[in-house]
Amino acid sequence: MFNVESLERVELCESLLTWIQTFNVDAPCQTVEDLTNGVVMAQVLQKIDPAYFDENWLNRIKTEVGDNWRLKISNLKKILKGILDYNHEILGQQINDFTLPDVNLIGEHSDAAELGRMLQLILGCAVNCEQKQEYIQAIMMMEESVQHVVMTAIQELMSKESPVSAGNDAYVDLDRQLKKTSEELNEALSAKEEIAQRCHELDLQVAALQEEKSSLLAENQVLMERLNQSDSIEDPNSPAGRRHLQLQTQLEQLQEETFRLEAAKDDYRIRCEELQKEMSELRQQNDELTTLADDAQSLKDEIDVLRHSSDKVSKLEGQVESYKKKLEDLGDLRRQVKLLEEKNTMYMQNTVSLEEELRKANAARSQLETYKRQVVELQNRLSEESKKADKLDFEYKRLKEKVDSLQKEKDRLRTERDSLKETIEELRCVQAQEGQLTTQGLMPLGSQESSDSLAAEIVTPEIREKLIQGSDNEKNRLITENRLVNQRLLEVQSQVEELQKSLQDQGSKAEDVSLNMYQ
């Protein structure tokens, strides 16, 4: 089975090689080896559709490959990809269940069977392109054997195309009618071949009969001469008469057979002419159906395009609806974007400021350590000053108690002094009354001296200095020292509070910077 298929593929390759030669390309295309480099096939594809297979595409096919089979395979791969893309993009066809040619076997081993598959794909491009009528006419002008193989290859490709959608009934009918017409054409060609063979056989029979007739006539002439020389042929009882009657009967039979064969030949010739007329009509119908098939194919392409456009319209309508919804949210999104941009700007500024603060914090870290040491020292000094303040407060309380006691003593002495003054006044009054009895000049002096001496005895200057000046000076000194100590305590407390506040602020900023860095 494989050998038969391979032989059919080789025969297909030879027929398609003959078909390729009708394009009259510049590159040589007489043998299979001439086609293995892909140059001929590329030039043929450019002739089929120069708009798709343009100069840029053709320039990618390397012409000077020689015996380098790798470059041949590269060219063949480009050609095969171009053919498949052309079928998909331009012709809108998808070839299914068709074994693609093995370009490695073509380029390396010049495999004729695989080359036949490649040429069959090119044939499919030719009979489906815009100038397909021209190429179909060229195929119809070829020899019948080549034409039959090419038509079989076209039918095989048509059977491998993708199935048409169920909605395209007109194209289905035209395709079915075209296939039926092709089958009838093939049957007519077969009948024509059989009739031609039969006519040839009848011509041979007529020629043989004519030769036999000529030989019989010659024999009859010889016998007639012999008869003239011998017995009379009119006597049926004589041997010559009997032979003459026998030959005459045989001649009449041969003439009847000849007339019958000529009549049959005429009938077959008439039948052949009728079949030729039928074949011409079928060819004309085939051309018309091919035109209709082309129109149907274009309508199919338009339907596919419209279907594709309809699908795209549906998708675009859905996209438009989604875009409308998105446009409704676009205002909110823009405001959100604006807010996010503002936040981003603020965050950037905060980041820059935080980085600056981080640098400052790093710079102030040593200063912070110094402040911490100073705080510790100030706390120690505060403790000492607190102890001193407590001590001074204790002494202040003790001195205040002493001052209070001295004040009480002073008040008591003042009271006593006042009482003594009253006593002295009373004594002065008594002395005044008693002085009336003595001389007026001596008595007041004595009384004054007695009173002064008594007062001097009672309140001495030491007692007065101790009670008044000493108590006041001691009290003033203690009050001044207490005020100085309180002022110093207040100053130390305010410095400690300010230092603690500054340290807490710097510590919180440093923690925020470190947290932002870790985030």
Report the chain's terminal Cα–Cα distance, integer Å.
77
Report d(CA 302, CA 289) in Å as an integer.
19
So what's the pLDDT on residue 456?
47
Report which residue type is found at 98. F
So what's the pLDDT on residue 511?
59
Report d(CA 290, CA 297) in Å as an integer.
10
Query: Among residues 474, 464, 467, which one has the least CA distance to residue 409?
Result: 467
- Beta partners for 95? 161
Mean pLDDT (the chain) is 77
- Give whichever of 89-98, 114-123, 472-481 has the largest mean pLDDT: 114-123
So what's the pLDDT on residue 42?
92
So what's the pLDDT on residue 30?
85
**Least confident segment among 3-7, 176-180, 200-204, 352-356:** 3-7
**Least confident segment among 192-201, 231-240, 286-295, 339-348:** 231-240
- The answer to whether the CB of 138 falls within 8 A of the CB of 150 is no
Average pLDDT estimate for 384-408 = 81
Query: What are the C-alpha distances in Å from 299 to residues 208, 306, 347?
Result: 59, 10, 63
Going by CATH, does the domain composed of 2-163 fall within 1.10.3720.10?
no
Is the pLDDT higher at 444 or at 27? 27
Report d(CA 258, CA 252) in Å as an integer.
10
Average pLDDT estimate for 369-390 = 82
* pLDDT tens digits, one per residue of 269-294: 888 888 888 887 887 887 787 778 77
So what's the pLDDT on residue 143?
87
Confidence of residue 403 (pLDDT cuts 50, 70, 90): confident
Report d(CA 106, CA 79) in Å as an integer.
13
Token pair, residue 460, equals: 């001495």
For residue 457, pLDDT over 50 is answered with no
So what's the pLDDT on residue 415?
92
List, in order, residues 6 or more apart from 190 with CB less than 8 Å away. Answer: none
Confidence of residue 167 (pLDDT cuts 50, 70, 90): very low
Question: Which bin fits 429, alpha (ψ -120 to 50), beta or left (φ > 0)?
Answer: alpha
Question: Which bin fits 97, alpha (ψ -120 to 50), beta or left (φ > 0)?
Answer: left
Neighbours of 85 (CB within 10 A): 11
Residue with tokens 């120690």: 380
**Domain ranges across the chain:** 2-163, 192-302, 387-518
* pLDDT tens digits, one per residue of 231-243: 455 556 666 667 7
For residue 455, pLDDT over 50 is answered with no
* pLDDT tens digits, one per residue of 24-59: 888 888 888 888 888 999 999 999 999 999 999 998
39, burial (CB in 10 Å: exposed 0-12, middle 13-18, buried 19+): buried
* pLDDT tens digits, one per residue of 134-147: 888 888 888 888 88
Query: Among residues 298, 3, 345, 7, which one has the least CA distance to residue 168?
Result: 298
